[in-house]
Amino acid sequence: MTRIPPAALFGLFFTGLYFFMAIFAPWIAPYSMTEVVGGVWEPWSSEHLIGTDNIGRDLLSRMIYGGRTTIFIATMATILSFVTGSILGFTAAVIGGWVDQVLSRFVDLIMSIPTLIFALVVLSVMPVTLPILIVVMGLLDATRVYRLARAVAVDINVMDFVEAAKLRGEGRLWIIFREILPNALSPLVAEMGLRFIFAVLFVSTLSFLGLGVQPPNADWGGIVKENKDGIVYGIPAALVPAVAIATLAISVNLVADWILNRTTSLKGGRG
Amino acid sequence: MSDQLLKVRDLKIGARVYPPGEKPHDIEIVHGVSFDLEKGKVLGLIGESGAGKSTIGLATMAYGRGGVEITGGEVWVNGREILHTSLRDLRKLRGTEVTYVSQSAAASFNPAKKIMEQVIEASVHAGKFSKKDAEARAVELFAKLGLPDPESIGNRYPHQVSGGQLQRCMTALALCPEPDLVVFDEPTTALDVTTQIDVLMAIKDAIRDTGVAALYITHDLAVVAQVSDEIMVLRMGDMVEHGTTDQIINAPVEDYTRDLVSVRSRQHEGKPPTDNPVMTIEHITARYKGTNFDVLHDVSMELHAGQTLAVVGESGSGKSTTARVMTGLLPAREGQIVFEGRTLSADLAGRSRDDLREIQMIYQMADVAMNPRQTVGTIIGRPLEFYFGMRGAEKRKRIEELLNDIEMGVEFKDRYPAELSGGQKQRVCIARALAAKPKIIICDEVTSALDPLVAEDILRLLHNLQKRENVAYLFITHDLATVRAIADSIAVMYQGRVVRYGPKADVLTPPFDDYTDLLLSSVPEMRLGWLEEVVEHRKMESAGN
């Protein structure tokens, strides 16, 4: 095994830390998420490690639960976008012809509308619940994944081993899942890291604008929104979730970069 | 000695390797090679891939390609040691005193610049000639190298000339600055035999007329025998034998050299066709989707059980397209494919699983013909499972038998293709084809990417398997030595038509049609003076017409 570079180690550590906190939130958080336990915007103390928020709830607890929401939504949306995007992309590449045309032009159409505006329009007419949020984000992101998956699969589809499988009489499912997917995995996994970050940023943006996670629940974007007025008075509560979003994005990015480097530097590119 | 141009002493070259799962480490790929070259002489470097021939060639310009480093020894050019000289001095040396001709001219020319600009670039840049003089010299060289319209060909872009012409342009590029030494690295390997002969003759004349010395690197002993004064045989970074061309070809001392010399001499007594062909294709005409011209015109041929039909021709002649039509990948526009008396669907989708099983294919590039993410066991096992429903122990046993058939051990079952050598990969592809128990195997240039000795092993294996399994081969190749070694019948293709077809003895016996004559006489023979003979013969013929 080659040594893990320090940047990737840093990324792995923080990514791991955030996911750990998200999964074990109820055991880690000192207080409940919604309980008012102190005054408004109390400073950092031994009781409230990073102070309290705009109505006196423990900020650390809210951050931990909020991280759980952010990471959960981002993860589910990313998984959804990868499953739909790559299956449709592979299908388009393998079948080709008018199926490819219809799918690709439809994706172009969706992509021509700015994602944020599209999401805001959809969410303003739909009830904003977690599943709907995840589906909207996942499907919008799936267009990007579709394009990558299709491009990668078109390359693999013309290789002799795929032709050999077609000559053998293999069905499309076998070709997609057994011949193409294993060889397309490394670029897709690397892309997955980046897409996850975009999902985190996207859900935070939506919540900040009030169309994401609804109160009293909150994600990091929501916490920024709640505490943003404090900044005027020199209260740093809004910066904490902002820093959390930034560090999560950077660490996942570092990990994704490392995976991409590892998988492409191997002999033969796809090895 | 004033004649001494190049002196290489105990040259050692190392490279850093990155084996998967291991730490990167340095290995030595050339272990102390020494040789001399006098002015105006040509030294042929020959060996299989990985022998270090190109690496040595580049080292004479003090250059190591991609992670390759010259670790020891001396290289003297014109009495100067160049391995320990400054980059500034090296720049003067490279491209003017020592120049390089690579295998793929198409990849070496900048497609966005005119040929002339690139041919004179080095001479003008080094201040050796003025732009005008350099252009005049380039035109002279174009004429000498037998290029059409030497006055104006320089104004074309690289894609506007043929592959053979571009290779000659590259030779002009190398000769333009009046170098003392030219390194030719497989300059004709990528060309068709009919084109190769012209380029070879052009190179040979140019070397003689300009009095330049040359290193000629190739894996084809028959080619190097035509152009070089001396030959050095290399194997895995060591010198095996070094002697005059005459001695190496006619009286090789080492076993390895003897193998190389005799590798093309394998002969196969052709069998007469049987009464019942296993497959016939009749009057096939085909074109690719989205084009409006036919690539095959009225092609007919027969395959007989236990026999080999060799399809020969240059690139673009329709050999592989014929195979695609047979397999159903490219449905024919007209004509039909008859298999054991019944007509097969022209389209892949219209054939039953059993029809598909009967026709198997082996590809030229074994690397890409196998899924890199599947083990050898999975690759060979899938047809067993797919066609015969084999599972578990039965399947495992059959995989082991097949590995045995291709003369590889059972331990290879769990390896991935990346862990196999080129010859082993091709063997696994053969096993995959055999696993389906087909009546027909289409071999598309299966030996072209392999070193001669490995290729011979593969041919022998294919031959033995044919005897045992009574399978018919459609053997696509551009190499006539391979044809002699394996074919029972031959179809010569040219521009999408079959120009000559029949049992081997008939096809290879005069009188020939023009194209077959050209093709047959272009195949390099392993003897001195062959090139001159052919060229002389052609001149006389064209004078006679």
User: B209-239, pLDDT tens digit by residue?
Assistant: 888 899 999 888 888 888 899 999 998 888 9
Q: Tens digit of pLDDT for each residue in B75-122?
A: 888 888 888 888 888 888 888 889 999 888 888 899 899 999 999 998
Looking at B328-391, list the stretches that DSSP marks H as alpha helix, in order from N- to C-terminal side.
Answer: 353-358, 366-369, 376-388
User: B47 pLDDT exceeds 90?
Assistant: no
Residues whose CB is less than 8 angstroms from the CB of residue B402 and which lie 6 or more positions away in sequence, other chains included = B380, B431, B434, B435
Q: Is A267 in contact with B368 (Cβ distance < 8 A)?
A: no
In the block, tokens 């082996």 appear at B362
Q: What is the DSSP string of B118-130?
A: HHHHHHHHTTSS-
In this predicted model, which residue has the larger pLDDT, B96 or B471? B471
pLDDT of residue A99: 94
HEC letters along B300-324 = EEEECCCCEEEEECCCCCCHHHHHH
* Alpha-carbon gap: A271 to the closest alpha carbon of chain B (Å): 7
- Put simply, whether A170 touches B (Cβ < 8 Å) is yes
pLDDT of residue B231: 92
Q: What is the DSSP string of B496-542?
A: TEEEEEEEHHHHTSSSPPHHHHHHHHHS--SSTTHHHHHHHHHHHHH
Interface list for A 36-75 with B (CB within 8 A): none
Largest CA distance in chain B: 77
What gap in Å lies between CA B36 and CA B242, rounded to an integer? Answer: 11
Q: What is the DSSP string of B38-105?
A: ETT-EEEEE--TTSSHHHHHHHTTT---TTEEEEEEEEEETTEE-TTS-HHHHHHHBTTTEEEE-S-H
In chain B, residues with a C-beta closer than 8 Å to the C-beta of A266 are 20
In chain A, residues with a C-beta closer than 8 Å to the C-beta of B23 are 2
pLDDT of residue A1: 47
User: B1 pLDDT exceeds 50?
Assistant: no
Residue B98 near residue B179 (C-beta atoms within 8 A): yes
pLDDT of residue B20: 60
pLDDT of residue B274: 81
Q: Is B20 in contact with A179 (Cβ distance < 8 A)?
A: no
User: A268 pLDDT exceeds 60?
Assistant: no
Lowest mean pLDDT segment, chosen from A87-91, A104-108, B374-378, B517-521: B517-521
Other C-beta atoms lying within 10 Å of the C-beta of residue B410: 13
Residue A91 near residue A61 (C-beta atoms within 8 A): no
User: B338 pLDDT exceeds 90?
Assistant: yes
* Alpha-carbon gap: A259 to the closest alpha carbon of chain B (Å): 15
Q: Which residues pair with B26 in a beta bridge?
A: B16
In this predicted model, which residue has the larger pLDDT, A180 or B293? A180
pLDDT of residue B119: 92
Backbone angles phi, psi at B33, to 5 degrees: -105, 140
Give residue B2's pLDDT band: very low, low, confident or very high (50, 70, 90): low
Give residue A3's pLDDT band: very low, low, confident or very high (50, 70, 90): confident
pLDDT of residue B490: 93
- Put simply, whether A268 touches B (Cβ < 8 Å) is yes
Q: Which one of A161, A167, A168 has the shortest CB-CB distance to B370? A: A161
- Put simply, whether A267 touches B (Cβ < 8 Å) is yes
Give residue B265's pLDDT band: very low, low, confident or very high (50, 70, 90): low
pLDDT of residue B95: 81
- Put simply, whether A97 touches B (Cβ < 8 Å) is no
Q: Which amino acid is at A147?
A: R
Residues whose CB is less than 8 angstroms from the CB of residue A129 and which lie 6 or more positions away in sequence, other chains included = none
What gap in Å lies between CA B34 and CA B76, rounded to an integer? Answer: 11
Q: Tens digit of pLDDT for each residue in B387-438?
A: 999 998 999 999 999 999 998 888 899 988 888 888 899 999 999 999 999 9
In chain B, residues with a C-beta closer than 8 Å to the C-beta of A169 are 351, 353, 356-357, 386
Q: Which one of A2, A160, A168 has the shortest CB-CB distance to B368? A: A160
For B488, the token pair is 């029972």
Closest CA relative to residue A139, chosen from A163, A167, A106, A168: A106
Q: Which one of B20, B21, B363 has the shortest CB-CB distance to A160? A: B363
User: B139 pLDDT exceeds 90?
Assistant: yes
Q: Is A268 left (phi over 0), alpha (psi -120 to 50) or beta?
A: left
pLDDT of residue B19: 65
What gap in Å lies between CA B76 and CA B62, rounded to an integer? Answer: 10
Q: Tens digit of pLDDT for each residue in B286-331?
A: 988 888 888 899 999 999 999 999 999 887 888 989 999 999 999 9
Lowest mean pLDDT segment, chosen from A97-106, A213-222, B135-144, B235-244: A213-222
Residue B369 near residue B430 (C-beta atoms within 8 A): no
- Put simply, whether B324 touches A (Cβ < 8 Å) is no
- Put simply, whether B386 touches A (Cβ < 8 Å) is yes
When scoring A94, A156, A157, A160 by the number of chain B Cβ atoms within 10 A, the one with the most, hence best to mutate, is A160
Q: Is B386 in contact with A267 (Cβ distance < 8 A)?
A: no
Closest CA relative to residue B194, chosen from B218, B162, B170: B162
pLDDT of residue A266: 43
* Alpha-carbon gap: B77 to the closest alpha carbon of chain A (Å): 36
What gap in Å lies between CA A205 and CA A137, rounded to an integer? Answer: 12
Omega cis (within 30) before B179? no
Q: Is A270 in contact with B383 (Cβ distance < 8 A)?
A: no
Give residue A112's pLDDT band: very low, low, confident or very high (50, 70, 90): very high
User: A138 pLDDT exceeds 60?
Assistant: yes
Here the contacts of B337-346 (C-beta below 8 Å, separation 24 or greater) are B337/B279, B337/B280, B337/B281, B337/B282, B337/B284, B338/B279, B338/B280, B338/B281, B338/B282, B339/B278, B339/B279, B339/B439, B340/B278, B340/B279, B340/B439
Q: How many CB pairs under 8 A join A and B?
A: 58
Mean pLDDT of chain A: 87
Interface list for B 392-451 with A (CB within 8 A): 418, 432, 436
- Put simply, whether B207 touches A (Cβ < 8 Å) is no
Give residue A52's pLDDT band: very low, low, confident or very high (50, 70, 90): confident
> Which chain A residue lies closest to B357 (C-alpha atoms)?
A168
User: A16 pLDDT exceeds 60?
Assistant: yes
User: A86 pLDDT exceeds 50?
Assistant: yes
Residue A135 near residue A80 (C-beta atoms within 8 A): yes
Q: Which one of B21, B348, B359 has the shortest CB-CB distance to A166? A: B348
Q: Is B418 in contact with A179 (Cβ distance < 8 A)?
A: no
* Alpha-carbon gap: A174 to the closest alpha carbon of chain B (Å): 11
User: B188 pLDDT exceeds 80?
Assistant: yes
Q: Is B329 in contact with A166 (Cβ distance < 8 A)?
A: yes
**What ipTM was assigned to the predicted interfaces of this complex?**
0.78
Residues whose CB is less than 8 angstroms from the CB of residue B401 and which lie 6 or more positions away in sequence, other chains included = none
Q: Is B373 in contact with A160 (Cβ distance < 8 A)?
A: no
Q: Measure the CA angle with vertex A150, ends A145 and A156; round to 5°.
A: 130
pTM, rounded to two decimals: 0.81
Give residue A267's pLDDT band: very low, low, confident or very high (50, 70, 90): very low
Element (DSSP H or E) covering residue A227: helix A220-227
* Alpha-carbon gap: A79 to the closest alpha carbon of chain B (Å): 23
**Span B174-195, mean pLDDT?**
86
Interface list for A 110-169 with B (CB within 8 A): 159-161, 163-169
* Beta-strand runs (E) in B322-433: 334-339, 342-344, 359-362
Looking at A126-179, list the stretches that DSSP marks H as alpha helix, in order from N- to C-terminal side.
Answer: 130-157, 160-168, 172-174
User: A144 pLDDT exceeds 70?
Assistant: yes
In chain A, residues with a C-beta closer than 8 Å to the C-beta of B372 are 183, 268, 270-271
